[in-house]
Amino acid sequence: MRIGILGGTFNPIHNGHLHVAGEVLSACALDQVWFMPACLPPHKDLADAVSFAHRFAMVEAAIEPFPLFIACDLEGRRGGHSYSVKTLEELRHSHPADEFTFIMGLDSFAEIGLWKSYARLFELCHIAVAARPGFEGDLEQLLPVAVADRFCYDADALKLSGKSGFSVQLVRQTSADISSTEIRSRLAAGEPLDELISARVADYIYQHQLYRQSAVG
């Protein structure tokens, strides 16, 4: 199978995450997208200290109507900091017959040089980079210098083809940008969410009284 991996804190998961997953599923001809909440994100603090169990449950609630979306608790079971390269190595070992595409936003891709063993990531999977509406650049400008000689750019396909057989593909988003930070702030202030998250996720948040304190970050 061709499987997309969409990681993140999902604090909380929102409709922007679902839209990106759907667009990458179609653009990259994937069979499934696995949503993989981080246990402990290595590059930022976890706002409001919402537990992995709550964040995973919200992911399960959000993707319930979508049969091609799967919730994966690998990083929660492993514990500790959630390094993407370690996750992809584990997936390659446990699912040798499957092909993985790691899904990330343009902002994250631009900072991938700061990630642990980031060069190794390009040898483990395809990478799909979701660009916000209005982005007119190309991936070649953002590729870290340390791995640039491994790829050649196909401008027509909006894709970098690697010597390892894996590619980096640009997927232009059509949805408006949604921020988990904005959602947490609205929840803390008692403001309406304007359909930014699914009704299932909203019900879970209210039932468990999450994000009731000031939540900026």
Q: Does the predicted TM-score (pTM) go above 0.95?
A: no
Note down pLDDT in tens along the chain; length 217 residues. Answer: 999 999 999 999 999 999 999 999 999 999 999 999 999 888 776 767 799 999 999 999 999 999 999 999 999 999 999 999 999 999 999 999 999 999 999 989 999 999 999 999 999 999 999 988 778 777 888 889 899 999 998 877 778 999 999 999 999 887 777 889 999 999 988 898 888 999 999 999 999 999 986 433 3
Q: Which domain covers residue 142, as residue numbers?
A: 2-178
Q: Decide if 88 is inside a domain.
A: yes
Q: Decide if 159 is inside a domain.
A: yes
Q: Decide if 214 is inside a domain.
A: no
Q: Decide if 65 is inside a domain.
A: yes
Q: Specify burial of residue 62 (Cβ count, 10 A radius: 0-12, 13-18, 19+).
A: buried
Q: Decide if 134 is inside a domain.
A: yes
The β-bridge relationship of strands 99-105 and 2-8 is: parallel
3-state secondary structure (DSSP) of residue 182: helix
Q: Specify burial of residue 59 (Cβ count, 10 A radius: 0-12, 13-18, 19+).
A: buried
Work out how many domains the chain is built from and give that number.
1
Domain CATH code at residue 59: 3.40.50.620
Question: What pLDDT score does 47 carry?
Answer: 64
Q: Decide if 216 is inside a domain.
A: no
